[in-house]
Structure 1
Amino acid sequence: MYVNCELPDVQAGFRKGRGTRDQIDKIHSIIKKAREFQKNICLCFIDYAKNFDCVDHNKVWKILKEMRIPDHLTCLLRNSYTGQEATVRTGHGTTDWFQIGKGVHQGCILSPCSFNLNSEYIMRNAGLEVAQVGIKIAGRNISNLRYADDTTLMAESEEELKSLLMKVKEESEKLA
């Protein structure tokens, strides 16, 4: 509930009643409308490599606080990650135990929520949610569509698209 309040409609990943087909249909409709009104459209498809493995726990706590997720829920999540250790077994033996400070729990129902908030934080800080950039549809600017770690940036010119991409890249690197 708290997470869905913070996420815009452009993020469909891990949300009830939404799927990849919905996002593909939206992109298809946007392209069709752009052609119909003889508008330019430039798209950039981003797929964050191993993003679920790279989420920094300390940055997640900061993001949850900034996104106004209640402290007691953040504390519960933080407690599930505190003190994690791992060892790796190879053909030559087993490594020493080491602390895990990155990555979300595989299979945990809260991991997609954490991930979506991480993604939303990047887009907000890149200014994509408030900027008058992207493709104008029904009086609303849409600069991106997302499904989990797949993001599609949209603009009416190559220059604008490059600017969007650089902003997203810069904010993404801060969380890496």
Structure 2
Amino acid sequence: MKDSVDTQLRDQQDGFCKDQSCTDQIGTLRITVEQSIEWNSLLYITFVDYEKAFYFMDRTTLQKLLRHYGVSQKIVNIIQNSYDGLNCKILHGGQVTDTFEVKTGVSQGYLLSHFLFLLVIDWIMKTSTSGEKHGIQWTARIQLDDLDLVDEHSGSDADVKARIGEARAAYLQLKNI
């Protein structure tokens, strides 16, 4: 399953991928920030906290996304069956709640959670950045493509808001896959 999906992921995707690391991307980000300070140029950086994102992923959308990436229906059904009828209890202050069904999200402890999350993020980035010129123009001929969300463009607040709007729109389109 992972082999069929890995060939479709963006080149910039390194997190949760076999034999890949985010070390180079972190180093590139650090150098970019240092250069921006040295050159006294504007730089907009967005950090997104995905801690709770696992809990809000729509499972029907995940099924569609898996099929979109070429995962067989049989595997999609197995994944879906692992979540059907998922019940939980909460222990708080020595008290245990009644059992309740969990209908959205993926468990962070689930073996495939990172893989499923990776697909969602990859799809959002592909959709929100398609057809545009990306990266930071270092010289007339050399461009840095490894950072999709670090971009100086024209430096205006409107440009930054437009990029955020494009990412938000891509996220909302997930349900229409």
For the aligned pair, the TM-score class normalised by the smaller chain equals 0.7 to 0.9
| Contact 2:135/2:146, CA 8 A, preserved across alignment | yes
RMSD: 3.3
Q: Which runs of structure 1 show a deviation greater than 6 angstroms over 4 or more consecutive aligned residues?
A: 32-40
Task: Give me the whole-angstrom Cα distance separating, in 2, the residues matched to 1:92 and 1:109.
Answer: 29
| Contact 1:86/1:99, CA 8 A, preserved across alignment | yes
**Runs of 5+ in structure 1 lacking a partner?**
146-151
Structure 1 position 92, deviation (Å) = 7.3
Q: Who wins on radius of gyration, i.e. which is larger?
A: 2
Cα distance change of structure 1 residues 94 and 139 upon mapping to structure 2, 3 Å threshold: same
Task: Give me the whole-angstrom Cα distance separating, in 1, the residues matched to 2:19 and 2:59.
Answer: 29
**Runs of 5+ in structure 2 lacking a partner?**
none
| Partner in structure 1 of residue 161 of structure 2 | 162
Task: Give me the whole-angstrom Cα distance separating, in 2, the residues matched to 1:6 and 1:13.
Answer: 15
Name whichever structure is richer in strand by fraction: 1
Q: RCO greater where, 1 or 2, for CA within 8 Å and sep 6 or more? A: 1
Cα distance change of structure 1 residues 17 and 30 upon mapping to structure 2, 3 Å threshold: farther
Task: Give me the whole-angstrom Cα distance separating, in 2, the residues matched to 1:144 and 1:21.
Answer: 13
Q: Percent identity?
A: 25
The reply on whether 1:85 has 2:87 as its aligned counterpart is yes
Cα distance change of structure 1 residues 9 and 97 upon mapping to structure 2, 3 Å threshold: same
- 1:40-119 aligned within 5 A: 41-91=43-93, 93-119=95-121
**What TM-score comes out, normalization by structure 1 length?**
0.74
The reply on whether 1:135 has 2:141 as its aligned counterpart is no
Instruction: Name whichever of 65-74 and 91-100 sits farther off.
Output: 91-100
| Contact 1:122/1:172, CA 8 A, preserved across alignment | yes
**What TM-score comes out, normalization by structure 2 length?**
0.74
The number of residue pairs the alignment matches comes to: 169
